[in-house]
Amino acid sequence: MKNKNQHIEQFPLTPNAKAGVFIRNMQGKTVEEHDISKPHRDNHCQLMLATEGRFQLNIDFENVEFSTPALICVFPEQVHYSIEVDAPKGWILNFDPSLADQELLQLMQNKMSTPLSLEPDSILFYQATSLLALIEKSQSENTSKFIHKAIHSLLNGLLNLIAGEIIGSLSGQNQKTSRGVIIKDTFSQLVKQHYKTWKQPAQYAAALAVTVAHLNDTVKALTGNPVSVHIQEASILEAKRLLYFTDNSVKEIAHEVGYEEPVYFGKLFRKLTHMTPLEFRKQFRD
């Protein structure tokens, strides 16, 4: 495949965003500021409530097709694009992650990897549609610091309601929030932030104020994999993105994801994917 970009393009929030938040009604006439059918990242979070229509997206090599109504969130590090969208209704809420309660955002990143299906007569559906409609109305008002604060409050109110739904569903599956779950979720968040430079389990254990053995036992018990594998998988996922969406060499990609020795990186990539980096590029792209 020719003419691949040398980097994965990342788009900022629209200049029309008021104080870090911008909502778009999918039935409106607002034109996308970039081609969403091409793979890209955003430097902000994108929360979609789809009330009607048919949606097929790709998020980090996974085709995501869902029926409505549903909530889905795309986070800044994720490469995504739209495959097909038919007769969409609902809202897309773009917001700077610094505006959100970080505990809520972390919960959503850890537990909302797939669309959250809603019942049309559910309380959350009613609450979410009401809040998003109010954010849309507030956005159209004259700009003032009070409206900005109101929009920020509505955003965090919505995220709290979604978090409550997630926690409720986990409780229904007898997955109670425990110290171990908190450690595992916080570890997962740290990996996303530091995988390029923190390659040793001891670095994460120190950040969490636990021993390496306790961290490893906890993560392995809850996920089935030790800490080292999670660190490696984060690096390999980013390497896959770069192999697919850029023409960078394997050596350049190895350095980009934190490995100074391309030979070691190649062996690790093959261990986790059962193919070499170039075989992956050829199979999935060329």
DSSP secondary structure string for all residues of 5-17? -SS--EEPPPTT-
* 56 has pLDDT over 60: yes
Q: What is the pLDDT of residue 185?
A: 87
The model's pLDDT over 192-208, given as tens digits with 9 standing for 90+, comes to 999 999 999 999 999 99
CA atoms within 13 A on the CB side of 168: 8
- CB of 280 within 8 A of CB of 273? yes
The residues that bridge with 198 in the sheet, in sequence order, are: none
Rounded CA separation 55/40 (Å): 18
User: Of 56-65, 104-113, 151-160, which gets the smallest average pLDDT?
Assistant: 104-113
User: Of 34-38, 136-140, 184-188, 226-230, which gets the smallest average pLDDT?
Assistant: 34-38
DSSP secondary structure string for all residues of the chain? -----SS--EEPPPTT-BTTEEEEETTS-PPPSS-TTS-BEESSEEEEEEEEEEEEEEETTEEEEEPSSEEEEE-TT--EEEEEEEEEEEEEEEE-GGGS-HHHHHHHHHH-SS-EE--TTSHHHHHHHHHHHHHHHHHTSPP-HHHHHHHHHHHHHHHHHHHHHHHHHHHHTT----HHHHHHHHHHHHHHHHTTT--SHHHHHHHHTS-HHHHHHHHHHHHSS-HHHHHHHHHHHHHHHHHHH----HHHHHHHTT-S-HHHHHHHHHHHHSS-HHHHHHHHT-
Predicted TM-score (pTM) of the model is: 0.79
The model's pLDDT over 86-131, given as tens digits with 9 standing for 90+, comes to 999 999 999 999 899 888 888 888 888 889 999 999 999 999 999 9
Q: What is the mean pLDDT of residues 227-242?
A: 95
Q: What is the mean pLDDT of residues 40-61?
A: 94
Q: Domains of the chain, with CATH numbers? A: 10-172 (2.60.120.280), 179-284 (1.10.10.60)
Banded model confidence at residue 170, pLDDT cuts 50, 70, 90: low
* 145 has pLDDT over 90: no
Q: What is the pLDDT of residue 151?
A: 94
Q: What is the pLDDT of residue 152?
A: 94
The residue ranking higher by pLDDT, 174 or 243, is 243
* 266 has pLDDT over 50: yes
90's tokens: 């609902």
